[in-house]
Amino acid sequence: MSSSERSDRHSPDISNNNALLREILDNCEEAVAVSDHNGNLHYYNKAFDSLVSPSSPSPPLNDLLKALSLDALGVWRMLEKQVRMGYAPTYRIALNGGQVISVNAKLFSPKDDRGLILSIWNDATRDEQVRLNYNQATAMLELTQKVAGVGCWQADLEKGKMIWSEELYNITGLPREKSLSIKKYLTRFTPRSRAALIRNLKKAIRYSTPFEVDLEFYARDGSTKWGRANCRIENRNGSCTSLYGTFQDITDMKQREQAILRSHELLTTILNSIDADIYVCDFETHEVLFSNKLVEEEVRPTSNNMKCWEYIYGLDHKCYSCPEMELLDSEGNPSGLFIREFTNPKTGRTYLCHDRAVDWISGRKAHLQVALDISDRKKLEEEITMAMAQSEAANRSKGEFLANMSHEIRTPLNGIFGMLELARTTELNEEQEDYINTALESGRSLLTVINDILDFSKMEAGKLDIVEYDFNLEQCIKSVLKSFSVQVSDKKLNLEVEIAKGTPVCLMGDESRIRQILFNLVGNAVKFTLEGKVKVEVHHEETKLSPEKYRFVFTVSDTGIGIAENKQDIIFKAFTQADGSYTRKYSGTGLGLAIVRRLTALLGGDVSVESEEGKGSSFTFSVVCGLQSDHFSCAFREEDDQYEKNSLPALSILLVEDERINRFSATRILEKLGHSITPAENGYEALKILEGATFDCILMDIQMPVMDGIETTNEIRNSKKYAASRKTPIIAMTAHTMRGDKEKFLESGMDAYIPKPVEFKSLTEAIARVVKE
């Protein structure tokens, strides 16, 4: 239908029924006005009235036009513009009352000669507000998406169209294109994620199931990132018509998550690798919050929110031994570590438990326990303690055995020596004297061997102690050399001593052990040297060892047979000799150097050898000694010579000795020296004698039946009954020669000590010394 036809159809009604027309126009929502070219308003309907001035019933259109800055010409121009642009622009106008409104005006110029203008006005204020709100909401949404890194999308499955939010382009880096498709969307994902997304999408479409999945996608720069895709479904008649959802960039979150996961894995690995049961339970509820692998393996796989006592020990009540009260202070704060040993009543295994209170996640207080299974260690400890007790008992009995052996060997030897010495005092022909001297020499060799064996056994049993006392180094060396004077002069050897300048000689240390080392080394040097010399040198190292101790280095060298290089190591082993053949030229047990090595170690030093076969050997050893306060001047006693020279006056001597032969030989020898001897078989007998007599000196055996030497000495020294003999010198004469014996006897009140077998020379010297003192 053409526009002229339309106007033809309506025109008769309007012209003929003005009232009806007005009625229609007044009920029209749109404001309608009719004006002339001069701006005079000829007609306006109710809607126009309320649009332009809701308060005034008859506002002039001119006001409106004025407000739009339009005159009649302007209206025509506006009309033209509308025709040209094909739509009615919106005008914001401020009315006289100050109110701002937005209006759309459609102007028509009816084609009649009256030149009237028909205008239809629309209040666009609300539309504009809606548009404004919409724009604001869109901007807000975009901003929110940008800040949150969340894009959204919608896919219309029926139309095969997809729309993306601005942010989704930003996240995926895809260029904005008109023809967006799910296919393109999929190209942004790594193959693995793409497959996962397709799988989820298919499921969503087929079963209308929404999904959420984390996917790896390519960013604009080609790097891979992580996104979380969320998808919802729209259904119509049971089939999926469209999908919509969000896609969030979760790369940072994922990285943080992975970092947390890594550190969690690390901690879990560590906690699970620790060979101890570790678990945590809530302080209030006692519910188990964590347990490591070992607990789970030993107890059960998972705690299932069980109470600790139920989980760990299978109890239906709190453990009586739980230390939880100890773990918090009076203010309820963790008070530190509580360590205890605990035996699990169920398994019988013993644990070393470390309990402490800790601040747990979300403000909870928790009880942390680390329990180390020490059952095996405990068992081992018990075994070790038992073994140690056994070995101590064995050592004790070995020590006792050694003491007895020493005593039992020395007692008959003493008899042999005594009788030989006695025989020497009789009239002898040359041959007899030679036999006796040879027997005595063999006896002495036997004694050396016995001493070595006993010493070595003592060392093996760990029974050899070090006793430190003041001594003179020079005297110590010289007295050792003196004992070899006979052999040295027989062999025509030179014996030299060189104490380096500035070496302190007044020392504190175990002189008797140093003497023993020197005795062995000088003895060997003399034994293995046929001509030339034996030399002893000593110096000290300047560096002070703590406290006030120095290292003294001794060298014993000779011009003897020397030792083959391949034998230089083994000679320090017990019972080993360089010449191991049956046709050995030199006697010996092979124990000397083994003893030397152990003794030097005991004295804080060591020993080594340098030697060349046929040219000689040089043994160097070191020991650690302290210094006396004045370390250059101290007594140098020419003891032996001094007393040897003094002839003793005739003395009355009480000889207390249970062994018949020893008693007989001692009595006879001492009598031959002019002394008068009263023999007693034991301490009791001696005390009886002392009740009625006094003596110049008492020779006291130690081990005797009825009453031993120590008890007897104690009585003499302390009982009023023997007050007359309280000061009489007592010499211990004993086969008890173990380390410490001498000191023990002197402490019990004796004045001197002579070991058995008794050398009568030393006995007379000792008697002379004590009597003089």
Which residue, among 147, 152, 174, 150, has the nearest Cα to 162 in the 3D structure? 152
Binding to ligand ADP by residue 610, rule CB under 6 A? no
Q: Does 571 bind ligand ADP (CB under 6 A)?
A: yes
Count other C-beta atoms under 10 Å from residue 347's C-beta.
Answer: 12
Residue environment code for 360-397, b if the CB has 16+ CB neighbours within 10 A, otherwise e: beeeebbbbbbbebbeeebeeeeeeeeeeeeeeeeeee
Q: In the bound complex, what is the minimum distance in angstroms from residue 389's beta carbon to ligand ADP?
A: 35
Question: Per rule CB under 6 A, is residue 526 in the interface with ligand ADP?
Answer: no
Q: Which amino acid is at 636?
A: F
Interface with ligand ADP (CB under 6 A), residue from 418, 588, 683, 757? 588
Cβ neighbour number for residue 239 with a 10 Å cutoff: 12
With CB under 6 A as the contact rule, which of the stretches 331-339, 398-406, 570-578, 763-771 interacts with ligand ADP?
570-578
Stretch that binds ligand ADP, among 192-200, 238-246, 561-569, 698-706 (CB under 6 A): 561-569
CA distance 80 to 50: 27
- Report how far residue 573's alpha carbon sits from residue 577's, in angstroms, rounded to the nearest whole number: 9
Contact with ligand ADP (CB under 6 A) among 227, 245, 415, 560:
560
Task: List the structure tokens of 571.
Answer: 């000679």
H or E segment at 188?
none
* Binding flag, residue 603, ligand ADP (CB under 6 A): no
Nearer CB in complex with ligand ADP: 568/714: 568
CB of 738 to ligand ADP, least distance (A): 22
Nearer to ligand ADP, 382 or 612 (CB): 612
Q: What is the DSSP code string of 663-690?
A: HHHHHHHHHHTT-EEEEESSHHHHHHHH
x/- binding map, residues 442-481, to ligand ADP, per CB under 6 A? ----------------------------------------
Q: How far is the CB of 539 from ligand ADP (least distance, A)?
A: 20
Q: Which range in 48-56, 75-83, 336-344, 590-598 contacts ligand ADP by CB under 6 A? A: 590-598
Q: Rounded CA gap, 617 and 562, in Å? A: 5
Please select the residue that binds ligand ADP; options are 151, 418, 592, 605, rule is CB under 6 A. Answer: 592
299/525 with CB nearer ligand ADP: 525
Which segment (8-16, 429-437, 586-594, 625-633) binds ligand ADP by CB under 6 A? 586-594
Task: Determine the interface stretch with ligand ADP among 317-325, 407-415, 463-471, 518-526 (rule: CB under 6 A).
Answer: 518-526
Instruction: Decide whether 78 or 525 has the Cβ nearer to ligand ADP.
Output: 525
Least separation in angstroms between residue 573's CB and ligand ADP is 8
Q: Which among 105-113, 308-316, 383-391, 572-580 is the span making contact with ligand ADP, rule CB under 6 A?
A: 572-580
Q: How far apart are CA 702 and CA 318, in angstroms?
A: 68
Of residues 335-354, those binding ligand ADP (CB under 6 A) = none
For the CB of residue 625, give the shortest distance to ligand ADP in the complex, in Å. 23
Closest CA to 155 of 200, 197, 185, 192: 185
**Of residues 30, 579, 610, 711, which one binds ligand ADP by CB under 6 A?**
579
Nearest to ligand ADP of 592, 679 (CB atom): 592
| Residue 589 near ligand ADP by CB under 6 A | yes
Q: Which residues pair with 216 in a beta bridge?
A: 226
* 462 SS3 class: coil
Given 299, 593, 731, 766, the residue binding ligand ADP (CB under 6 A): 593
Strand order in the sheet with 338-343: 288-291, 277-282, 365-373, 350-359, 338-343
Q: Cα torsion for 37, 42, 48, 53, to the nearest 10°?
A: 90
Sign of CA dihedral 470, 471, 472, 473: negative
Please enumerate, as own/partner, the contacts of 322-331 that have beta carbons within 8 Å and a separation of 24 or more.
Answer: 323/355, 324/283, 324/355, 324/357, 324/367, 326/355, 327/355, 327/356, 327/357, 327/367, 328/283, 328/357, 328/365
Cβ atoms of residues 686 and 654 within 8 Å: yes
Residue with tokens 């209040």: 123
The C-alpha atoms of residue 296 and residue 275 are separated, in whole angstroms, by: 13
Does 561 engage in binding with ligand ADP (CB under 6 A)?
Answer: yes
Phi and psi torsions of 384, nearest 5°: -65, -45
User: How many C-beta atoms surround the C-beta of residue 563 within 10 A?
Assistant: 21
Q: Which range in 100-108, 359-367, 583-591, 739-747 contacts ligand ADP by CB under 6 A?
A: 583-591
Nearest-approach distance from CB 531 to ligand ADP, in angstroms: 13
Q: Which is nearer to ligand ADP, 201 or 595 (CB)?
A: 595
Which of 51, 101, 117, 578 binds ligand ADP (CB under 6 A)? It is 578
Closest distance to ligand ADP from the beta carbon of 607 (Å): 11
Q: Is residue 618 close enough to count as binding ligand ADP by CB under 6 A? A: no
CB of 473 to ligand ADP, least distance (A): 22
Considering only 487-495, 545-553, 560-568, 727-735, which stretch makes contact with ligand ADP by CB under 6 A?
560-568
Q: Does 532 bind ligand ADP (CB under 6 A)?
A: no
Output the CA–CA distances (angstroms, integers) from residue 68 to 53, 82, 241, in the order listed: 15, 15, 49
Among 104, 577, 600, 665, binds ligand ADP (CB under 6 A): 577
Binding residue count for ligand ADP, defined by CB under 6 A: 21
In whole angstroms, give the CA distance from residue 692 to residue 669: 25
Q: How far is the CB of 560 from ligand ADP (least distance, A)?
A: 5
Q: How far is the CB of 525 from ligand ADP (least distance, A)?
A: 5
Minimum distance from residue 591 beta carbon to ligand ADP (Å): 6
Of 451, 503, 524, 737, the one binding ligand ADP by CB under 6 A: 524
Query: What residue ranges in 219-272 does DSSP mark as E strands?
Result: 224-236, 239-249
Could you say whether residue 216 binds ligand ADP (CB under 6 A)?
no
* Residue type present at position 338: F
Asked if 59 is part of the footprint of ligand ADP (rule: CB under 6 A), the reply reads: no
- Is the distance from CB of 648 to CB of 771 less than 8 angstroms? yes
Q: Which of 78, 370, 563, 770 binds ligand ADP (CB under 6 A)?
A: 563
Region near ligand ADP per CB under 6 A, out of 58-66, 152-160, 406-414, 522-530: 522-530
- DSSP result, 12-67: HHHHH-HHHHHHHHHT-SSEEEEE-TT--EEEE-HHHHHHH-SS-S---HHHHHHH
Residues making contact with ligand ADP (CB under 6 A): 520, 524-525, 528, 558, 560-563, 571, 577-579, 588-594, 617
